[in-house]
Amino acid sequence: MTAETVQNLEVLAAQAQTLMSVFTKAGYDAVAPAIIQPADVFLDVIGENLRARTYVFTDQDGAELCLRPDITVPTCRLHLERHADPMTPARYCYNGPAFRFQPQGATAAHPREFRQAGIERFGDKSREAAEAETVSVILKGIEKVGFKDWTLKLGDLGLFSSVLDAAGLSPNWKKRLDDAFLRPLSFREALKGFATGVRGASSGVPDEVLSAMRRDDREASEAAVAVYLEEEAIELIGTRTLSDITEHLIGIAEDRKEKPLDNRAIDLIARYVGVSGSAITAGEKISALIKSAPNGSGYALETYDRRLALLANAGIDLDRVTFAAEFGRTLAYYTGFVFEVSAPSLDPKSPLAGGGRYDGLMRAAGSGADVPAVGAAIHSERLLAATGGKSP
Amino acid sequence: MTNLTLAIPSKGRLMEQTTDMFARAGLVVRKVGHVRGYRGEIEGLPGIDVAYVSSGEIAEALKSGSVHLGITGEDLIRENISDAATRIRFLQKLGFGFADVVVAVPACWLDVTTVAELEEIALPFRRQHGRWPRVATKYINLTRRFFGSKGFGDYRIIESAGATEGAPSSGMAELIVDITTTGETLRANGLKILDDGVILKSQANLFATNAAAWTPDLEALRAELSDRLANSIPSKATVR
């Protein structure tokens, strides 16, 4: 495993020092969040998929703890401890180990213990500026270490929403497609099924219950559900209440009445999802798509263009920047802008660095509300490999 | 010459049914030494050592290759050995020990009949209760693999060692993944199976490990045992 020889440790330490000095000079406070974290926060944020890759254990008192699978969530918790008002603007940087179980066995590119050097910034109101600066600080760090041959890939999970707005979809359809977009495994299938209606014929919910659901009369709807349960001698058990169940049933009943998704919208979505390539031409393509749509507006593309202009201003060569509409869909907690820095010499599935916007994460960590947040981390061992294992 | 080691369940219904199957094949399995011991032999089939092992540990023994053959449920093999297809040979379905591994939710959830509908309630549930729905199960790996294959990750597993069916009504979890044969226990606990919630239709199998050294002599013994057992297996075993 990487970093097991003393030489690598020294080189890694020197590399980390260089990165941390770039980060602190850019105005980020150096912090060292705890390596052992309460498992709850992570597991509630990341869901069961990443849990399968997190080292979770029970201590002698029965508390469920984990070895941090990343340093972003611990930094969010640290911010909440420091500031009573989570909206307080702050910038943090860190360097240290994170841990992930590798189901295919640990390798040099996918070690179970790896070092991350990263930055996080919270509470920024100017969104694209914070995003562009995050990218530029990460690239500055990577170049300072001695690696110049990077490529940059961008994505934007918020753009899909704008495409749906442009397509003039009903709120019900929009919500359904927005949810489906984040689940690429089932997205294509869902889109196919959506051609015949929001909900295919798959649902086994009793028709007599659905026909009694009224959004404008919750009381009567709940009563109808209660009567059905009573007649069928089904006991109401578990955490979900009659009201929870009725709310979802009302939604299902509404889905049944929704008009099928029209072909123009399906075509627009399919064409958007297929957009990939140079960031400049991708922007032009998406702009043309949105303009051709029934409710086209330029708003979303303004943010796209502003971000690119800010990156160019920071000295980033846009010819080395690509965009893919699908990129970012499978990443754990991102809510908008995402990016990845890669090295041509490494497997494209093993990027040197990655990050993006995650406005919902602080709420999951206990802030009670969304907090603007952008961050990124560098995978230290991969950066070392990309530079040929030499000290900068 | 080394003997062939066959692990069979050491207690419960699975042990009785295994013994019955051997009896139907005209084979008597007998303990060797102390009656409370865990070693045995098959009368008329010299060269085979029988080890009485708890059915869960049979999967471990096959995985490590400390026994050659084992009789246990497919559910336990699939749960305990992530790459079962390469480590284990599935020799014969035995026609007993039927159990379906299923996803079951409270029957009062009229709004949830499929995994897709379960996925729909996960986010509203989290907004209401501050956490993802919890799934009580002892089949952690089967559950993860099944939901993962459907792109569903918005849940949390709660490990359950026993009486899993009671978890939803006691508030320990919202739903369960467990085995059922007739569905009676699920119904008695106010639960129903999702329409697309059957993860695995399991039964007892004769398994062989790929982790042990197989000499021609051992293979011959295995073939003889398989042949003797084949006649005593009800034909529906292969149909199911």
Least confident of A17-31, A63-77, A295-309: A295-309
Per cent of chain A over pLDDT 70 is 89
Structure tokens at A168: 């003039």
Q: Domain B99-201, what architecture?
A: 3-Layer(aba) Sandwich (3.40)
**Long-range contacts of range B160-169, CB-CB < 8 Å, 24 or more positions apart?**
B160/B136, B162/B138, B164/B136, B164/B137, B164/B138, B165/B104, B165/B189, B165/B191, B167/B136, B168/A237, B168/A238, B168/B105, B168/B106, B168/B136, B169/A237, B169/A238, B169/B106
Q: Show residues of chain A in contact with B111, CB under 8 Å.
A: 205, 245, 248-249, 252
Rounded to two decimals, the ipTM of the complex is 0.85
Check if B4-97+203-239 and B99-201 are the same fold.
Answer: yes
pLDDT over threshold 60, residue B212: yes
DSSP per-residue string spanning B83-145? THHHHEEEEEE-S---EEEEEEEETT-TT--SHHHHHHHHHHHHHHHSSPPEEEES-HHHHHH
Residues near A270 by Cβ (< 8 Å), separated by ≥ 6? A191
Chain A interface includes B86 (CB < 8 A): no
Average pLDDT over residues A30-46: 86
Q: Can you tell me the distance from the alpha carbon of A11 to that of A15, in angstroms, rounded to the nearest whole number?
A: 6
Chain B interface includes A47 (CB < 8 A): yes
Average pLDDT over residues A140-150: 95
Question: How far away is chain A from the Cα of B130, in angstroms, using its nearest Cα?
Answer: 8
Question: How far away is chain B from the Cα of A326, in angstroms, using its nearest Cα?
Answer: 16
Chain A interface includes B25 (CB < 8 A): no
- The nearest alpha carbon in chain B to A369 belongs to B127
Average pLDDT over residues B61-65: 94
pLDDT at site B179: 95
pLDDT over threshold 70, residue B106: yes
Q: Show residues of chain B in contact with A249, CB under 8 Å.
A: 110-111
Give the phi and the psi of residue B209 in degrees, each rounded to 5.
-85, 150
pLDDT at site A299: 62
Say if the Cβ atoms of B114 and A203 lie within 8 Å.
Answer: yes
Q: Please count the residues of chain B.
A: 240
3 state SS of B72: strand
Considering only the C-alpha atoms of chain B, give the largest distance between any 2 of them, rounded to a whole number of Å. Answer: 66
Distances (CA, A) of A337 to A120, A302, A376, B70, B237: 14, 14, 11, 53, 54
Average pLDDT over residues B83-96: 92
Dihedral sign (CA A28, A34, A36, A37): negative
List pLDDT tens digits, range A340-366: 999 988 888 889 999 999 998 888 888
Chain A interface includes B112 (CB < 8 A): yes
Question: How far away is chain B from the Cα of A377, in angstroms, using its nearest Cα?
Answer: 24
Contact present, A331 and A289 (Cβ < 8 Å): no
Question: How far away is chain A from the Cα of B18, in angstroms, using its nearest Cα?
Answer: 35
Say what angle helices A263-273 and A157-166 make with each other, to 10 degrees.
Answer: 160
Domain map of chain B by residue range?
A: 4-97+203-239, 99-201
E strands present in B141-190: 156-159, 175-180
Q: Can you tell me the distance from the alpha carbon of A195 to that of A186, in angstroms, rounded to the nearest whole number?
A: 15
Rg (C-alpha) for chain A, rounded Å, is 24
Q: Which CATH homologous superfamily contains domain A6-150+345-386?
A: Bira Bifunctional Protein; Domain 2 (3.30.930.10)
Dihedral sign (CA A174, A178, A181, A187): negative
pLDDT at site A300: 64
- The nearest alpha carbon in chain A to B156 belongs to A48
Say what angle helices A72-82 and A39-51 make with each other, to 10 degrees.
Answer: 160
Chain B interface includes A104 (CB < 8 A): no
Structure tokens at A32: 């060292």
- The nearest alpha carbon in chain A to B194 belongs to A204
pLDDT over threshold 80, residue B17: yes
Q: Show residues of chain B in contact with A205, CB under 8 Å.
A: 110-111, 113
DSSP per-residue string spanning A77-89? HHHHHH-SSTTS-
3 state SS of A350: coil
Chain B interface includes A183 (CB < 8 A): yes
* pLDDT grade for A185, boundaries at 50, 70 and 90: low
pLDDT at site B197: 95
Question: How far away is chain A from the Cα of B77, in angstroms, using its nearest Cα?
Answer: 18
Q: Show residues of chain A in contact with B120, CB under 8 Å.
A: 248, 251
pLDDT at site B240: 41
Pick the CATH number of B4-97+203-239 from 3.40.190.10, 3.40.50.1700, 3.40.50.300, 1.10.150.120: 3.40.190.10
pLDDT at site A392: 33
Strand partners, B90: B207
When comparing pLDDT for A95 and A162, which is higher? Answer: A95
Give the type of residue at A75.
Answer: T
Contact present, A325 and A155 (Cβ < 8 Å): yes
Say if the Cβ atoms of B120 and A185 lie within 8 Å.
Answer: no
Contact present, B206 and B135 (Cβ < 8 Å): no
